Amino acid sequence: MPVGSQQPAPTPSPPAVPSGERTRVELAARTLKLSRLQNPLWGTLMGVAFAGFIPQIGTGLTVWSWIWIASTWATGAFMGIIAWALARYPDASPFGLSWAFWVTAAFGISGVLWGVFGIVFWESDNPVNQLFILLAQLAVINIYVTRLMSLRSAFLAGALGLAGIAVPHLLIADSPIWFLYLIFVPLWVVLTYASALTLSGIINELITTRNANESLMHELTEARDRAFEERRAAEAASTAKSRFLANMSHELRTPLNAILGFAQLIRDEAGNPARYPEYGADIYSSGAHLLSLINDILDISKIESGRMEISPVRLDAKEAIQEALRLIESKMDEKQHQVALNLSSSCPTLYADERAVRQILLNLLSNAIKFTPAGGRIQIAAGADAGGGVWMSVTDNGPGIEPERLATLFKPFERGDNSYTAAAGGTGLGLALVESLVRLHGGSTSVQSEVEKGSIFTVRFPAAPARASSRAA
């Protein structure tokens, strides 16, 4: 059965730099945290002061006074909920709409409440009372401009909410200071808003600078991480190629020494002439092995440089597997391996390059033969994928592969470091060729392995394109 490839864990992305709007909302939210307590406490203090504690500015509490004081506590609770929710869900409001809307709404309600303050505690025959109400409301507007300069919409909602209630009330009420109210409140709003614009511009510049610095820091961190990763990859590649050259020198010397040794015997007419045909066979075998090594190196070089070309045709997967088994049957017989075929009757026609498929199967089978102990079992299976493609797998009961090596198994020049692998020999190009050739077809490779229990190597080829199928028909 085919096995799934192990997917590497996704690399966590760096935290996003907050936008200017979000930063302004966060700054205004700090005022929310402060106002959730100050608003009701200041409201209660003003209510008590205007309700008779200071007779010159107010003479007594009414039902509306108590309702107004209770409203300041309700508004403080609402501000607290918004501040808590924004801290818990900074990216998006769970109440719908944006956080800027909710922060603006909170201060808009507060402004309206302080506009109503002038109506609830108003005494038409007490100019001192009216003057103190005017000063209290101007103080509230001033607090808005000093604390909400980062979010102008919140400042405007609070100031205009207050003025929108207070000014119409003055037009209706018969007050000796109505002209002061009508002059100072709008003028104060305009002046404080102009100050807010200046302060807001400074804050925007600071926010932009901060975000630019944070963005630059993120980019530098990513560049540093990439540099470290590329350095580790380069060091690993250098180590792997050095190990490959050491292995390759041994692999090339062995057949070359055999060729030269037997050729020298024949040249010097040494040894038993009756064994010369045997020497010739050994020379041929060594030369074929040497040619195979050179072909692997050239194929890897072509693939890495993008010069390898394939010519896909329609092939019978069963026939391709059986042909590969015939080519490698003698090696299996030497180690007395048991071979099992598990070929699905519904296996579709394979659409691939014939030479590449042969190379893939021979490399997988050679790998299985190399690592399966004498008398071991090798199984070859093939079947259809859900999408109409073809999968083929080779299973052995060899020593298995350590989990930490699975990620680099199909990379060029990689080879196992354990004693079993070292004794088996090899250049480390076989599986890399398999992966590269399968990838040229648009397919995939995977491996499942358990130490001391063996391995399953699986290759998958995509379904034949419609044009190829119609041409074959």
Q: How far apart are CA 226 and CA 78, in angstroms?
A: 47
For 425, other C-beta atoms within 10 Å of its C-beta total 12
Q: Which residue has the tokens 């995509």?
A: 462
Q: Which of 40-54, 146-160, 174-188, 337-351 has the lowest mean pLDDT?
A: 174-188
pLDDT at 332 over 80: yes
With tokens 């010159």, the residue in question is 56
* pLDDT tens-digit series, residues 178-188: 666 667 767 77
Q: Provide the token pair at 114.
A: 């302080």
Mean pLDDT of 14-25: 55
What is the side-by-side order of every strand in the sheet holding 377-384? 338-343, 377-384, 390-396, 454-461, 444-450
The one-character DSSP state at 458 is: E
**Confidence tier at 150 by pLDDT (50, 70, 90):** low
pLDDT in the model for residue 457: 92
* Helices 152-172 and 127-147, axial angle in degrees (round to 10): 170
Buried b (16+ CB within 10 A) or exposed e, 217-232: eeeeeeeeeeeeeeee
pLDDT over 90, % of the chain:
2
* 469 token code pair: 């199928």
- Please answer whether residues 58 and 50 qualify as being in contact, where contact means their C-beta atoms are separated by less than 8 angstroms: yes
Once rounded to an integer, what is the mean pLDDT over residues 11-24?
Answer: 51
CB 92 within 8 A of CB 139: no
What is the rounded CA–CA span in Å between residue 417 and residue 466? 45
Report pLDDT for 458. Answer: 92
More confident residue, 214 or 196: 214
Q: Is residue 379 scored above 80 in pLDDT?
A: yes
The per-residue pLDDT for 104 is 85
CB of 464 within 8 A of CB of 327? no
H and E: helices and strands count for the chain: 12, 7
The pLDDT mean for the chain works out to 77
SS3 (DSSP) at 384: strand
Q: Say which DSSP state 373 is in.
A: P
Question: Looking at the predicted structure, is the pLDDT value of residue 4 above 60?
Answer: no
Statement: residue 365 has pLDDT above 50: yes
With CA atoms as reference, report the closest residue to 154 among 220, 98, 223.
98
pLDDT given for residue 470 in this prediction: 34
Q: Which residues contact 85 (CB under 8 A, 6 or more apart)?
A: 93, 94, 95
258 touches 283 (CB < 8 A): yes
The more confident residue out of 261 and 395 is: 395
Question: Would you say residue 367 has pLDDT above 50?
Answer: yes
Give residue-wise pLDDT tens across range 390-412: 898 999 988 888 887 777 777 76
The whole-angstrom distance between residue 96's C-alpha and the CA centroid of its chain comes to 27
Q: Quick one: CA dihedral 106, 110, 111, 115, positive or negative? A: positive
Q: What is the pLDDT of residue 394?
A: 92
State pLDDT tens for residues 415-431: 554 444 444 445 567 88
Does 468 have pLDDT greater than 70?
no
d(CA 434, CA 432): 5
Closest CA to 314 of 390, 392, 393, 394: 390
